[in-house]
Structure 1
Amino acid sequence: MAGLQNCNLVANPCFSKPIVTETDAQPCFDAPLYRRIIGSLQYLTLTRPDIAYAVNVLSQHMHDPAPQHTLMLKKLIRYIKGSTELGIPITRSNLQLRTFSDADWASDPVTWKSTSGYCTFMGNTLVSWTVKKQSTVSRSSTESEYRALAAATADTIWIRRLLLDFRITLSNPVDIFCDNMSTIALANNSIFHARTKHIEIDQRFVRDHIQQKHIKLLPVSTIDQLADILTKPLSTNRFKVLRSKLTVSTYSSVCGGMLEQIT
């Protein structure tokens, strides 16, 4: 479909630097083809968290893709072409949940909205991940991190309740890891300030679950923040490290048939 059967392979689905194109540059794909490819790749993200950020960014331009977006899509396809053997294993381990929450503040240069990313493990198995552009503009990195934390908390509580339907009760709070100390302090602070009034609902929501011992916020260094791969483009070395920590590795391919249609 994309005519890239014999393309050169790349090790990173994203460009780590902004793309500069000529004003008269021609797109790699026309708009209808761009939309068909992105539609197919959205299904692939159900088993490939390593491409979730790239697909999320490209999906925001389906109505009118510019040449740089088609160039980004071409690189993503080249990455997928060289990584069809990757997948997520399901391994036997404990049933304890742990979640990583992160945000990239004002990452969209047009709207200045931030990008939230979070992922949840059950034991050693990755069971949930999300990349989403926030609906409102955050006035600080703490605010953007807190909005991501509230969304991650809601998703974690949903998974916790889903386990109850299977008669699996978690005796300990779910650990949620965040690399922003201001966000952690705000979540544990019982006093509301005028400066945080615009996120008071999120603050109360997270703090209530902390008080009910459903979740526990823990600090994590930026280096060990696994959700970083879901919020921004990374250097190839950093990308590979986090991809490995997400347990994306060489297992039986789950995207071969879909890739044949795309390429």
Structure 2
Amino acid sequence: MSQPIGFVDPLLPNHVCLLKKSIYGLKQSPRQWFAKFSNHLIQFGFQSSSADPSLLFYKHDSKILYILIYVDDILLMGNDEFFIQHLLRDLQQHFRLKNLGNINHFLGITVQSTENGLTLNQAAYASTIISRAGMETCKLLTTPMALKPVSASNSEQPFHNSDLYKHLVGSLQYLTVTRPDISYTVNKLCQFMHKPLNGHFSLLKRLLRYLKGTLAFGLVIQPTKLQLSAFSDSDWAGDPIDRKSTTGYCAFLGHNLISWQVKKQHTVARSSIEAEYRSLATAAADVLWLRRLLQEFDIHVNKPTTIFCDNISAISLANNPVFHARTKHIEIDYHFIRDCVKSESVTIQHVNTVDQVADNFTKPLSTKRFTDIRHKLTLMETSVSLKGGDKQTI
């Protein structure tokens, strides 16, 4: 510790101020707060989730409560209103908490109740990003990325304001929490954060023009059968610079989209089978985590989870106990998939390319194809308000 400039005592130069209250922003402050708060909940009778450390649950007799903690934002739900109020009174005796009632906003996500379920959107957050870019009056587009990028004469020149590029792309990363339709484009933009060119900023502006026309879009969550399934896909050697492939997958609980990811593979795949196989391994790892999480919500997944893949050769490799010499270099992923199939945690099934909803996470698509998949990803237009805060929690 050292005294700030201007606060040094001439008579006691080696003394520092006594810190009476922890400063918000210290690296360990959120961790210490979470440890103190979670320990109190555990003493109350809660248990920590093995799948997600920020999730705690209480199960006693017929009472079930779940509490989700993100630093000082807390989301609480349960099936016993009287017991929830009892818990709130106990917490308010030990912590400075404000009960904001039923959830409307949480971490910048607007939650709207409808007759058929819930809708999640970040319209206000997306509007703020567009305003920061100065594109409030821009023309609208129907897709976030063109099938064939148009290169201008200055596309290869460095973009003059790299800080603006980094700021906007960093903000867009959080927007993908409720907008899976832009995940692939945001992933592409993130690959050039170190040195953006004019061509990359043109792609960023196209994405913002698409967002401007789809501000009202959000994820729809409706009552459905609690059956877990997933789709896996890859774009073999899709990167024209280093020829690495892109992994894309999404998981559904019934008809509701609950998890998705776009990720560039670390090494170059020697064949489309290898690229698809690595995508299957990534999807299987996420499925295993989701199965463990669902068990803690008392959703018992007794049957193998189906992962749909449109590459017949990769499916055959996953189910074939014979290890071919040509696949020795992907042995780790091979054994992982084989173990998942053998233990009946997952099962791999073929899906027609037309029905492969993970296409949206691996490559740019035509307007019609993109719109069809966006609808299958349960992204729909809803009536939203751009007003409101970001802490409608406890």
TM-score, normalising length: structure 1: 0.94
Contact 1:87 1:252 (C-alpha < 8 Å) held by counterparts: no
Larger Rg over CA atoms: 2
**Residue 53 to residue 254, structure 1, CA distance change in 2 (3 Å):** farther
Higher relative contact order (CA 8 A, sep 6+): 1
- Quote how far apart the aligned CAs of 1:5 are: 0.9
Contact 1:27 1:71 (C-alpha < 8 Å) held by counterparts: no
- The residue number in structure 2 matching 1:261 is none
- The residue number in structure 1 matching 2:203 is 72
**Amino acid of the structure 1 residue aligned with 2:353:** T
**Amino acid of the structure 1 residue aligned with 2:192:** H
> 97, 102, 116: which is aligned to 2:233?
102
Q: Distance in 1 between matches of 2:350 and 2:383?
A: 35
Q: Distance in 2 between matches of 1:27 and 1:77?
A: 20
Secondary structure of the 1:119 match is strand
Q: Distance in 2 between matches of 1:209 and 1:176?
A: 11
> 128, 138, 141: which is aligned to 1:10?
141
- The residue number in structure 2 matching 1:115 is 246
Secondary structure of the 2:189 match is helix
**How much identity, in percent, do the aligned residues show?**
52
Deviations, residues 168-209 of structure 1 (Å, cap 9, x unaligned): 211211110000000000000001111101111111111111
Q: Distance in 2 between matches of 1:140 and 1:25?
A: 30
**Amino acid of the structure 2 residue aligned with 1:68:** G
Deviations, residues 142-182 of structure 1 (Å, cap 9, x unaligned): 00000000000000111001111223211211110000000
> 218, 238, 241: which is aligned to 2:369?
238
The answer to which structure has the higher strand fraction is 2
Contact 2:159 2:197 (C-alpha < 8 Å) held by counterparts: no
- Quote how far apart the aligned CAs of 1:257 are: 8.3
> 129, 153, 169: which is aligned to 2:284?
153
Which runs of no fewer than 5 residues in structure 1 stay unpaired?
259-263
1:181 aligns with 2:312: yes
> 208, 225, 228: which is aligned to 2:359?
228
Q: Within 5 A, what are the aligned runs for 1:44-59?
A: 44-59=175-190
Q: Distance in 2 between matches of 1:221 and 1:144?
A: 18
> 247, 255, 260: which is aligned to 2:378?
247
Q: Distance in 1 between matches of 2:229 and 2:344?
A: 14
> 143, 157, 173: which is aligned to 2:274?
143
Contact 2:181 2:374 (C-alpha < 8 Å) held by counterparts: yes
> 299, 303, 321: which is aligned to 1:172?
303
Which runs of no fewer than 5 residues in structure 2 stay unpaired?
1-131, 390-394
Which moves more between the two structures, 140-149 or 159-168? 159-168
- Quote how far apart the aligned CAs of 1:211 are: 1.2
Count of residues in correspondence between the two structures: 258
1:215 aligns with 2:337: no
Q: Distance in 2 between matches of 1:71 and 1:86?
A: 23
Secondary structure of the 1:88 match is strand
- The residue number in structure 2 matching 1:20 is 151
RMSD of Structure 2 on Structure 1 (CA): 1.8
- The residue number in structure 2 matching 1:93 is 224
